[in-house]
Amino acid sequence: MEQLLVINTSPQRSGSYSRKMTERFVHLWRLRYPSGEIIHRELGNQPIPHVDERWIQAAFTPPETRDHQQKDTLTLSDELVSELKQATQIVIGCPMHNLSVPSTLKAYIDQIIRMGITTRLVPGTPGSPYAGLLHDKKAYLLLVRGGHGYEKGEAYAHMNFQEPYLTAVLGMLGIHDVTTVSLEYTAIGGDQFDEAVKRANSRIDALFC
Ligand SMILES: Cc1cc2nc3c(=O)[nH]c(=O)nc-3n(C[C@H](O)[C@H](O)[C@H](O)COP(=O)(O)O)c2cc1C
């Protein structure tokens, strides 16, 4: 059975464009997979704790020698990892925040990158020292930016630490089948924004044709 993990990362609720995009995606996904399971993971308004010293010590202690406290420390991380492992498809709605992703998403990523569980270090491998342990998953990135010019080949592409970062992180996990739909101009408005919305919506719709 298909399972979709929906990750929303915008701190905004009603005025959020990335949420509108994930809503459109989820609506179409539901029509495509009527009996599929959908799990929602809210990050924008339910922030994930940052990893701290206790977390690092627990995560790097072999599971069989972890004490009760260390197991407790990893409870949320274990839950997030299991949610991710179960999903066959993942959709992430993500604004650009200061050239990168919202800090809540970074905190989530730190919780789900687990050595020996979701990825493995293979030093010296060309291209990436990580071999992801999550296989047969498809990811969709629905990205929004207030400005414009951050796409490949454009003036500010070198400042885009949102899409290349997320693609690299998914690769670290073994998720290489990644489709991105971007929407720019959200803070600018006008005709260019209207056109950008139409383009982004039709790209989402085309995923389900
Ligand atoms: C803290 C913060 C930082 C932002 N940094 C950028 C940025 O670096 N580049 C950009 O184009 N837009 C930036 N924006 C604008 C957002 O990407 C834009 O408003 C987007 O629509 C927010 O996503 P949402 O509509 O889903 O909430 C920033 C917005 C906030 C709140």
pLDDT at 171: 97
Task: Decide: 162 in ligand 1 pocket, CB within 6 A.
Answer: no
**Sequence spans of domains, the chain:** 3-206
List the one residue out of 182, 127, 119 whose CA is nearest residue 156: 182
Tokens of 106: 């970074």
Which atom of ligand 1 is the closest one to the Cα of 100?
8
Q: Which of 10, 24, 186 to mutate to test the pocket of ligand 1 (most atoms within 8 A of CB)?
A: 186
Ranges of residues in the chain whose predicted pLDDT is under 70:
none
**Predicted confidence (pLDDT) per residue in 98-120, tens digit:** 999 999 999 999 999 999 999 99
pLDDT at 146: 98
CA dihedral 88, 46, 111, 186 (to 10 degrees): 70
Tokens of 38: 């959908």
**Predicted confidence (pLDDT) per residue in 19-57, tens digit:** 999 999 999 999 999 999 999 999 999 989 999 999 999
Round to whole Å and give the CA distance between 110 and 104: 10
CA dihedral 98, 99, 104, 107 (to 10 degrees): -120
Distance (Å) from CA 95 to ligand 1 centroid = 6
First to last CA, the chain: 20
Q: What are phi and psi of 200, to 5 degrees?
A: -65, -45
Architecture of 3-206 per CATH?
A: 3-Layer(aba) Sandwich (3.40)
Of all protein residues, whose CA lies closest to atom 29 belonging to ligand 1?
A: 97
Of all protein residues, whose CA lies closest to atom 22 belonging to ligand 1?
A: 95
Task: Decide: 143 in ligand 1 pocket, CB within 6 A.
Answer: no
Distance (Å) from CA 16 to ligand 1 centroid = 10
Q: Which of 6, 98, 150, 193 to mutate to test the pocket of ligand 1 (most atoms within 8 A of CB)?
A: 98
Q: Amino acid letter at 45? A: N
Round to whole Å and give the CA distance between 100 and 81: 23
Q: Positive or negative, the Cα torsion across 180, 143, 202, 86?
A: positive
Which atom of ligand 1 is the closest one to the Cα of 184?
11
pLDDT at 111: 98
**Which DSSP state fits 142?**
E
Task: Decide: 137 in ligand 1 pocket, CB within 6 A.
Answer: no
